[in-house]
Chains A and B, each alone.
Chain A
Amino acid sequence: MAASAQSAPVVRGTRPPPTTSLAACGALLRRDFVLAWRRRGELFLPLLYAVIVTALFPFALGPDPALLGRIAGGVLLVIVVLAMLPALESMFRSDLEDGTLEQWLLAPQPLALLALTRVIAHWLTTVLPLLVVMPLLGALLNLPTNVLPVLLLALLLATPLLVLLGSVLSALAAGARRSGILLALMLLPLAVPVVIFAAGAVAAAQSGMPYAAPLIWLGAALVLALVLAPLACAAALRIAVES
C-alpha cells in the first residue's frame, strides 16, 4: 500500500490519493458535500415543496385544528416520502454520465462500500434538512406536541431505509431513458411497509399507547437494509455501467 502511494503522481495543491477504504469513503463524502454546497440553492427545493404541500392541506380540508391534528402525523410522513423522490432519482445519473461510475468499478475499494457512502452523503444533504424543518411543518398542521418526537424518531429510522431502497432502484433506472415517475412507481410498493410501521408508531403515540414495537421493526429493517442494499446497489450499478 505504501509503495503505491509513493509511485502515484501527486498533483500540486491536492491531497494524496487515498490508500485505505476508509480514506476513500472520506474522499467520496467530501466530494459529495462540496458538490452539494456548490448547488446549495437546489437543496432548498424539496424543503419548499414540503412546506407548500403541507400548506395545501388546510386549504383542502378546512382549517379545523382538531381534524388537522388528527391527520398531521400521517400526512407529514407521506409528504416527506414524496419530497424525497425527485432527488433520489438523480442519485447516480450525473456520475454515470460523466464516467465517475466507471472509476468506481475500477477502484480497489468494494463497490458496495462506495455505494453506501453515496447513500450516507445523500441522506445528510437531501433528507436531513427535511427532518430539521419537521417542527415547522408540524406547527402548520397542528401536530400534537407529544407526537413530534415520535414522528422525528420514526422518520430518523424510515428515511435512511427509504434512501437505501431508493439507491438500488435509482441505480437500476440510471441507465434508462429519463422518466420522471418511474422511480416513484418502483419505490412506492417497497415503501408501503415502511410507511405502515412509521405511521403505526405515530398513531400509537397520538392515542397514548406504547409505540416502541413499530419503531423496533423499523430499526430491524434498517439494519438489514444497511447490509444488503449496498450489495444490491453495487449489482445494479454494474448493470447500469455496462454498455
Chain B
Amino acid sequence: MSRSYVPHWIHWLGSPPNFYRFAGALKPWLLLAALVTGVIGLYGGLVLAPPDRYQGDVYRIIFIHVPSAWMSLFIYASMAAAGLVALVWRIKLAEVVAMECAPIGAAFTLITLCTGSIWGEPTWGTWWTWDARLTSELVLFFLYLGVIGLYNAFEDHRRGARAASLLALVGIVNLPIVHYSVVWWNTLHQGSTVDFLDLSKSSIAPSMLWPLLVMTLATHLYFFASILGRTRAGLLALEGGKQWVRRLVTEDAA
C-alpha cells in the first residue's frame, strides 16, 4: 500500500460538490468574524487612537489604506499560488479559485490607490505622484485587469483559466518590486513602519498599531469569506450541467 504524502482531506476538498457544501457552511461564520473584527478595528482606529503629532486626524485613513494595500499583495500571491496548482496539477477547483481571486484583488488595489490619493492630497499636496511605490501599485492594478481580461476572452473557461494563471505567474515579479520600492528607491511614499518579525520594533505607536492589525485580520477574514462565496458561484457556473448541481437545485425546490 503506497503512503500518500497529501492528506486525505485535501483530496476530499478538491471535489466540487464537497467544496460547495464546505464553503457554504464556513462562509457565514467568516463573514460574521470579519464584520466583528472590522467594527472593533475601526472603533479602535477612528475613536480610541489619539491624533497624529504631525497629521492630526487625517492619518486615520491608514486603517483602510494599509490593510487594503497588504490585501492587494496577499491576494495576488494567493492567485498566483492557485494558478500554479491549476497549471501543474490541472485541478478544476484551483482554476476557479485563482480566477475568482482576481476581481477581489483588483478591488482592494483600487481602494488602496484611491485612499492613498485622498490621503496624499492634504499631506503631500498632490493627488498623485509617479514615485516607485505608487507606480508599481498601479502596475499591479493593470496586471489584475489583464488577468480578468484574458480569462474573459476565452470561450472555454478551463483553458482561459490556465492562460490567465500563466499571466498571473509572469506578473509575480511585480510583488517584490511593490514591497521593496520604498527601500530600493528614493520615494515620496514613506518607508515601512511595521516589522512583522518583531512588532515591538515598529515605529508606530501601540495605540495605533493594534487597530491596524485588527483591521488587517478583518480584511483577511473578509477575503476568505468572499473567495468561498465567489468560488461556489464559479463552480456552479462551470459545472452547470452536472448531476450534483441538478440534485442541489431539485433538493432546494423540493
Chain B residues with CB under 8 Å of A185's CB are 142, 145-146, 149
Q: Do residues A176 and B154 form an inter-chain contact, with CB atoms below 8 A?
A: yes
Listed stretches B45-53, B156-164, B217-225; interface member = B156-164
B139 proximal to A (CB < 8 A)? yes
Select the residue from B150, B160, B171 with max chain A CB neighbours within 10 A.
B150
Q: Do residues B166 and A186 form an inter-chain contact, with CB atoms below 8 A?
A: no
- Among residues of A, the one whose C-beta sits closest to the C-beta of B142 is A189
CB contacts under 8 Å to B, within A67-125, are none
Expressed in whole angstroms, the Cα–Cα distance for A151 and B164 within the complex equals 34
Do B155 and A192 touch (CB < 8 A)?
Answer: no
Q: B142 to A188, Cβ gap below 8 A?
A: yes
- Residues from chain B with a CB closer than 8 A to the CB of A182 are 149-150, 153
Segment 164-194 of B: residues with Cβ below 8 Å from A: 164, 166-167, 170-171, 174
A169 interfacial by beta-carbon distance below 8 Å: yes
Q: Are B146 and A186 in contact (CB under 8 A)?
A: yes
Given A172-B150, A177-B155, A185-B149, is A235 in contact with B166 using a C-beta cutoff of 8 Å? yes
Which residues of chain B are near A236, meaning CB under 8 Å?
A: 163, 166
Contact assessment for B143 and A189 in the assembled complex, using a CB-CB cutoff below 8 Å = yes
Secondary structure dominating the interface of B = helix
Q: A177-B154, A190-B171 known; A239 and B163 CB under 8 Å?
A: yes
Q: Tell me which residues across on chain A come within 8 A of B202, comparing CB atoms.
A: none
> Can you name the residue of chain A whose Cβ is closest to the Cβ of B160?
A176
**Chain B interface (Cβ within 8 Å of chain A)?**
87, 135, 139, 142-143, 145-146, 149-150, 153-155, 159-160, 162-164, 166-167, 170-171, 174
User: Size range of the interface on A?
Assistant: 20 to 34
Specify the chain B residue showing the minimal Cβ separation from A229.
B170
Distance, CA A240 to CA B156, complexed state (A) = 11
Chain A residue numbers with a CB within 8 Å of B87 are 235
What is the CA–CA distance of A232 and B139 in the complex, to the nearest angstrom?
Answer: 20
- Minimum CB–CB distance from B88 to chain A (whole Å) comes to 11
A168 with B170: CB separation less than 8 A:
yes
In the complex, the chain A residue whose C-beta lies closest to that of B151 is A176
What's the Cα separation between A176 and B142 when bound, in Å?
19
Taking a contact as CB atoms closer than 8 A, the residue among A186, A188, A240 that contacts B167 in the complex is A186
Instruction: Please name all residues of chain A whose beta carbon is closer than 8 Å to the beta carbon of B142 when the two chains form the complex.
Output: 185, 188-189
**A159-192 vs B, Cβ < 8 Å mask (1 yes, 0 no):** 0000000001100110111010010011011101
Complex Cα gap A173–B153 (Å): 8
Which residues on A sit within 8 Å (CB–CB) of B154?
A: 175-177
B150/A239 in contact, CB under 8 A? no
State whether the Cβ of A64 lies closer than 8 Å to any Cβ in chain B. no
Q: Are A232 and B163 in contact (CB under 8 A)?
A: no
